[in-house]
Structure 1
Amino acid sequence: MPIARHLSLITLDGVKDLIARGVDFTCRYELVGGTGDGKPLFQCIYTAGDEELLLVASKVQKHGPKVRQFALWPGLVNHHTAFGDGRPVSLDLDIRNAPGCDSGPDGDRS
């Protein structure tokens, strides 16, 4: 079961602002699930100071902001190259480890 956390939200324009102002930040990618064909999906969390910021789409949907999710290639790789913190990325690619995923040891859903 995922742990409840309080995160602030940030858009891509907000990330660009952090970069333009020279604010020190880190970013990490959390596995949140998989696509229909078993490819992992990630969300991006930026940390600036003691604040954690969840990357959301710039346009607000009917029910609020939509969390941006990235497939590994080309989405996450391109995003990290353009808007990352400069550190190499290390990822868990096993969607069986995603929150709410009920998979057996061989990867088949039980």
Structure 2
Amino acid sequence: AVAPLSLGGLFDELAREFAPVARAKGLTLTAAPSSLWIASDRDLLRSMLQNLIANAIRYTDHGRVLIGARRDGERVRILVCDTGRGIAEADRQAVFGEFVRLPGAPVDEPGAGLGLAI
């Protein structure tokens, strides 16, 4: 259900959840402070961000992952930025298909792809 949601609170919660995984890989995970509130389905947004953060950590070998938001006029852009290998221009549409994995993904890792189809 769509309801008012504090992005700062959600980002802090996600950072606490993923900090141990990031630390285990030697990465820094940062949640940028945010006072923004949005109207969203909390569970759906949280699920999407969990997926993006997990992928950012999985495909980043060193450096950092940042969770944040920027106001863009009447809209808000939610960002998950990392210092990982990135996605080649030619693959950017394909990664939104079901069961798609990027080249270089560990083959022994569980999962069916990037999960961006949702």
Is the pair's TM-score, using the shorter chain for normalization, greater than 0.5? Answer: no
Q: In proportion to residue count, which structure has more helix?
A: 2
Q: Which of the pair has the greater relative contact order for Cα pairs under 8 Å at 6+ separation?
A: 1
Q: In proportion to residue count, which structure has more strand?
A: 1
What TM-score results when the alignment is normalised by the length of structure 1? 0.23
